[in-house]
Structure 1
Amino acid sequence: MDERAALAVLEDELGPVGDDAAVVSDLVVTTDMLHETTDFPPGTTRYTAGWRAVGASLSDVAAMGGRATAAVAAYAAPEFDESELLAFVRGASDVCDLVGAEYVGGDLDGHEEFTVATTAFGTTDAPVRRSGAEPGDLICVTGTLGRSAAALELFERADSSERQSGSAQTDTSDREADLERANELFRFEPRVDAGRTLAPHATAMMDSSDGLARSLYQLAEASECGFAVDSSAIPIDDAVFDTAETDEAALERAITFGEDFELVVTIPEAALESAEAATTVALTPIGTVVDDGITMDGEPLPDRGYTHG
């Protein structure tokens, strides 16, 4: 059973499963699980792993328009290396500090594979859900898309170089540069501040962890609407063009790879100027909410994106 089939089973048992986080009274709570083989490519430092794992949960708080308050992480590994464990905690603490939250600890356990389970908490008295988009709204994204796809390409290139060469000093330098850049790209900024400042203007919001295309399908299902997207408006990260062979390949990675943790938000056209003024993060309109169907440049946009293994 894959992830989407498992979600269908949960919906049959629990009712609709949709928003990025749960809201109980004013408390926002969310949890994520990441594994070495599916989420941390070879060369990912433990500092980056701590940042990214906790950041993924903080991003869910952001998508609800919440103020992040705290996070915990359960760390499991075949053995505990002191330097790796401390690096992980520093990464987790630093990403919390970045968004004004507190890293308050967690749990340790032995496991055959490096695995992290994180939980983040926040507060909001007016959560933004996926279900409020209306025809005529603009569909917008924060920041740029494709950072994680570019990072994966660099991780893979460094891993391939290590396995195939191992002789020239220049190869070692290039490999180290690729790994340093890959880890940098992997350490995204959870858009907590942007989520809070966009919330009063937004009709629907989620993060792009599953990719832009799949996010649009998830928003469309929740809001019972469609989207018409302009590919030329999609903000593609410069790093994608450095690793993709063609502009078409760069666009494909930006809209389908996922794991960028930017916000995908619908905003009434009349509120766009106010929304842009309210946030310091770039906010780019990429299309319009329509009655039904999901298209890009007038052609159907396939439902493709990141699938958690």
Structure 2
Amino acid sequence: MDERAALADLANRLPDAGDDCAVVDDQVITTDMLHERTDFPAGTTRYTAGWRAVAASLSDVAAMGADATAAVAAYGAPTFEGDELGAFIDGAQDVCHAVGAEYVGGDLDSHDEFTVATTAIGSAAAPVRRSGASPGDAVCVTGTLGRSAAALELFDRGDADHANDLFRFEPRVRAGVALRPHATAMMDSSDGLARSLHQLAEASGCGFAIEEPLPIDAQAGTLAETEQERREFGVFFGEDFELVCTLPESAMSGARAAVPCPLHRIGTATESGVTLDGEPLPDRGYSH
């Protein structure tokens, strides 16, 4: 099975799963695993790895509209180098502090490949789930799309300094908290905009009509050699960790005033189907 088939199978065994985090007594909790071969391109610093690994879990907390509390990481590597381990911890602590959380430790283990498993927790009395969108709701996304695709392109070109800068995204925790009173459904875009829209549509039992122009990151637009590649970077590549949400038309102005980053309207919730400029949008994105 691929990841999506495995998750679908597990959903039958774990009926409370399915959102970005599990919810237990007003607390949200999530866990992620990242591997050197698939998640940390050559040139990724240990500082960036620490930042990005913990940020991925904090992004799930953001997607629930929760305040971030703390994170831990299990660090596995063939050897333990003091400078690398220290840089990893620095990155993990700095991204936690950027969103008002604390990095509180973890575990070390020998492993044949650099691998990190992270867990983050947060709090929200009324977390935002994926299942509340209704036809007529506005569909919005924070920030820009294609940042991680641009980073990988720069890693491939040998511009590791710039690539590391792009790879260190700030989880949208403050935006998620600001959206919590307004959003009807929300998730992060780690699997790409297209796949996120399909997942939200399935969870909410509705559809989405999306329209261009989309907020493609300027760096992604510069590095893409064709319009098709630009769309691939922004719509299908994934790993951007922006928030994709729906909210009533009447809440748009209040949400934009409250959210501390750009909030772009990209479409409208419909009865069924997921389209981009009137054409079916393929359910395609990042796969582990």
TM bucket by the smaller chain? over 0.9
> What's the TM-score once normalised by structure 1's chain length?
0.92
- Amino acid of the structure 2 residue aligned with 1:115: T
Give CA deviations for 1:278-303 in whole Å, capped at 9, x if unaligned. Answer: 11210000000000001000000000
Q: Which residues of 2 match residues 1-309 of structure 1 at below 5 A?
A: 1-15=1-15, 17-158=17-158, 178-232=159-213, 234-308=214-288
Question: Cα offset for 1:209?
Answer: 0.3
- Amino acid of the structure 1 residue aligned with 2:250: A
Q: What root-mean-square deviation, in Å, do the aligned CA atoms of Structure 1 and Structure 2 show?
A: 0.8
Count residues with an aligned counterpart.
288
Give CA deviations for 1:61-116 in whole Å, capped at 9, x if unaligned. Answer: 00000000100000000001111000000000000000000000100000000000
Larger radius of gyration: 1
> What's the TM-score once normalised by structure 2's chain length?
0.99
**Partner Cα distance (2:187, 2:89) in 1:** 27
Q: What percentage of aligned pairs have identical amino acids?
A: 69
Preserved CA contact (<8 Å) 1:7 1:17: no
- Amino acid of the structure 1 residue aligned with 2:170: E
**Partner Cα distance (2:17, 2:102) in 1:** 28
- Amino acid of the structure 2 residue aligned with 1:253: F
Give CA deviations for 1:9-59 in whole Å, capped at 9, x if unaligned. Answer: 212222263200011011111100000001101110000000000000000
Give CA deviations for 1:93-144 in whole Å, capped at 9, x if unaligned. Answer: 0000000000001000000000000000100001000000000001000000
Q: Which runs of 5+ in 1 are unaligned?
A: 159-177
Preserved CA contact (<8 Å) 2:16 2:22: no
Give CA deviations for 1:239-289 in whole Å, capped at 9, x if unaligned. Answer: 102211023321221010110000001011111000000112100000000
Segment drifting more, 147-156 vs 10-19: 10-19
1:231 is paired with a residue whose SS is coil
Preserved CA contact (<8 Å) 2:11 2:18: no
Give CA deviations for 1:126-182 in whole Å, capped at 9, x if unaligned. Answer: 100000000000100000000000001111122xxxxxxxxxxxxxxxxxxx10010
Q: Which runs of 5+ in 2 are unaligned?
A: none
Preserved CA contact (<8 Å) 1:93 1:103: yes
Q: Which runs of 4+ in 1 moved over 4 A?
A: none
**Partner Cα distance (1:216, 1:55) in 2:** 22
**Partner Cα distance (1:5, 1:293) in 2:** 21
Structure with the larger helix share = 1
Preserved CA contact (<8 Å) 1:26 1:125: yes
1:128 is paired with a residue whose SS is coil
**Partner Cα distance (1:252, 1:78) in 2:** 35
